[in-house]
Amino acid sequence: MFIKAKWLEPPHLIEYGTIPSNWVEKSNDSLWVCWPKVVNVKPLILSRQMPKKDWARFILLKKYGSGSSFSECEMVPSGNDTNEDTEDENLLKQNNRFTLPYFMSDDDFDNEVAPNQSKKKNWLAAVMRRQRPQ
C-alpha cells in the first residue's frame, strides 16, 4: 500500500510525494514520515523497504489518499496540484519576516570619508547615523 502525503522538512520546506504506508510511524500522538539518507530513493520506495533507525523523520502534515500500487497513488491529487502549497508557504513565511539594515553602497562610503579619519571608523559612523531614528 502507498500513500500520497505532505510533510515538513526543517526548517520550512514542504514536500509532497508518494511513499510506502510502512514509512509512516506514529510517535507521541504525531505521525512521522521516515526518509532514507540515500541519493536515489525510488528503488527503496518501489520495494517498500522497511525504515531503519538512522533514517530521517519528518512531521506528516496531511495524507491525500492511498493506492495499492505506486502508479495508482501517483494519480491522487495533492496540495501540490492546487493552491494549497502556496497558502502553506505564505503561512510559514509570515513568521520569518525581518527587516534588513541599511546597506551602504560604495558611493555612500566614499562620500562619508573625511581626510583625517580612517575609512573603517568613518564607515561605522555613517552606518550609525543612518540607523538612528530622526
pLDDT tens column, 119-132: 555 656 665 555 54
Contact, 98 vs 33, CB < 8 A? no
Q: What does pLDDT average to over the chain?
A: 76
DSSP 80: G
pLDDT at position 69: 92
**How high is the pLDDT of residue 110?**
53
pLDDT in tens, 48-67: 999 999 999 999 999 999 99
| 113 pLDDT higher than 80 | no
Amino acid in the structure at residue 124: L
pLDDT of residue 126: 60
Q: Is the pLDDT assigned to residue 108 strictly greater than 70?
A: no
What is the predicted pLDDT for the residue at 34?
A: 94
Q: Residues 3, 73: contact at Cβ < 8 Å?
A: yes
At 22, which amino acid appears?
Answer: N
pLDDT computed for residue 103 by the predictor: 47
What predicted TM-score, i.e. pTM, was given to this entire model? 0.59
Separation CA 102–CA 120 (nearest Å): 17
Tell me the three cell numbers of residue 84: 494549497
Angle 16-19-20 from CA coordinates, rounded to 5°: 160
Rounded to an integer, what is the distance from CA 119 to the centroid of its chain?
A: 40
Inform me whether the pLDDT recorded for 116 exceeds 60. no
